[in-house]
């Protein structure tokens, strides 16, 4: 089965240990709905590593990211801002997808 959403492999351990409970995406991945269950795969080979349930999808501008967002990413705010500027350079409209992990694969 193909994943519904993918993550860079370096973030998988934080998701599987429930330390990372949000992801921040652009418009192309803003269509998920609360209650939806998503198969989660690795970005590099698309293999599935867990299932999550979407809690909410909330618009955010990169300049409005807070320490609270960073905590939910298991990062410092500086790290999060750095990651966002690398993955979504120049993007002014992003979306915070909150989730809970349901199982491993």
Ligand X SMILES: CC(=O)Nc1ccn([C@@H]2O[C@H](CO)[C@@H](O)[C@H]2O)c(=O)n1
- Residues with active-site annotation: 20, 23, 73
Find tokens 């410092």 and name the residue: 76
CB of 83 to ligand X, least distance (A): 5
Both tokens of residue 35? 């209650």
Q: Are 97 and 24 within 8 A, CB to CB?
A: yes
Residue 72 contacts ligand X per CB under 6 A? no
CB of 27 to ligand X, least distance (A): 13
DSSP state at residue 75 = S
Both tokens of residue 20? 């990372």
Both tokens of residue 15? 């998701």
Nearer of residues 5 and 36 to ligand X, judged by Cβ: 5
Contact with ligand X (CB under 6 A): which of 3, 21, 23, 40?
Answer: 23
Contact residues for ligand X, defined by CB under 6 A: 6-8, 11, 23-25, 43, 73, 83-84, 87
């Amino acid at each position: 089965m193909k994943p519904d959403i993918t993550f860079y492999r370096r973030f998988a351990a934080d998701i599987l240990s429930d330390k990372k409970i949000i992801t921040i995406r652009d418009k192309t991945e803003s269509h998920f709905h609360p209650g939806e269950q998503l198969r989660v795969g690795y970005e590099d080979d698309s293999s599935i590593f867990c299932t999550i349930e979407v809690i909410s999808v909330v618009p955010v501008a990169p300049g409005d990211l807070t320490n609270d967002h960073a905590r939910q990413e298991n990062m410092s705010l500086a790290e999060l801002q750095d990651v966002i500027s690398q993955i979504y350079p120049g993007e002014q409209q992003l979306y915070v997808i909150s989730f809970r992990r349901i199982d491993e694969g």
